[in-house]
Amino acid sequence: MPVGTHLLERATRSTKPEYFPELVFLGILSSEQGIELLLEAWPKILAALPSARLTVIGSGPLAERVRHSQTPIRFLGYLPKQTDVDQYLAAADIGLAPYEIKSDSFKQFTDPGKIKSYLGAGLPIVMTNISAIAQEIELAGAGKIVTDDIESLVEAVVSLATNSDDYEEAARAAQKLAQRYLWHNIFDTAFDTD
């Protein structure tokens, strides 16, 4: 049974937000999860998008590196309440999941919960092609699939943020794809006796 999600009501954004795009990374702060790649790409993203902000939610072995980044990052650490996490996701614009791609990684066989959380928030997703959900995101047009290198990540984020038509289309596609992963839809499918 896949990991599910719930829908979040998007935060009301002003027509001239202080930060755009609001990027979010949710999860374990480890190399395998792609936080090092993101930390390396972030200065280039910020150079291209000076009004961008990166929010990092999570903990792990690289938490201190995130906390002491030379480039400004809003580091929230681990948030124990899902409602607190949801608040930040609902206010974000793009969800990031730049996993390391390694042939021996178990990630290729997983169903990442952060991706479902991003979908539930209606966020276009920028992620590496590490698991089956990446193909679903690409087919649905709910984000951009990248290689695990700095330039690919920067290009995808900048492209989404600077093309409002592509961004809006990806956000709508993310909301639509989220419907498939709502908990009640998953349970209805799993326990359908017809």
Q: What is the mean pLDDT of each run of 10 residues along the chain (194 residues)?
A: 50 61 96 95 98 97 96 96 92 95 65 85 94 90 96 98 95 87 51 56
Where in the chain are the domains?
A: 22-190
Helix (H) or strand (E) holding 127: strand 125-128
- For residue 113, what pLDDT is reported? 81
**What CA–CA distance (Å, rounded) separates 34 from 180?**
26
Which class would CATH give 22-190?
A: alpha beta
Residues 6+ positions from 125 with CB-CB distance below 8 Å: 94, 95, 96, 97, 115, 118, 119, 137, 142, 143, 144, 174
67 closest CA partner among 81, 82, 53, 57 = 57
**What CA–CA distance (Å, rounded) separates 11 from 90?**
5
Burial code (b: 16+ CB inside 10 Å, e: under 16) for 132-158 equals ebbeebeebbbbbbbebebebbbbbbb
The reply to whether the predicted model has a pTM over 0.75 is: yes
95 closest CA partner among 38, 26, 48, 40 = 26
- For residue 177, what pLDDT is reported? 87
Q: What are phi and psi of 116, to 5 degrees?
A: -65, -35
- For residue 2, what pLDDT is reported? 47
- For residue 1, what pLDDT is reported? 43
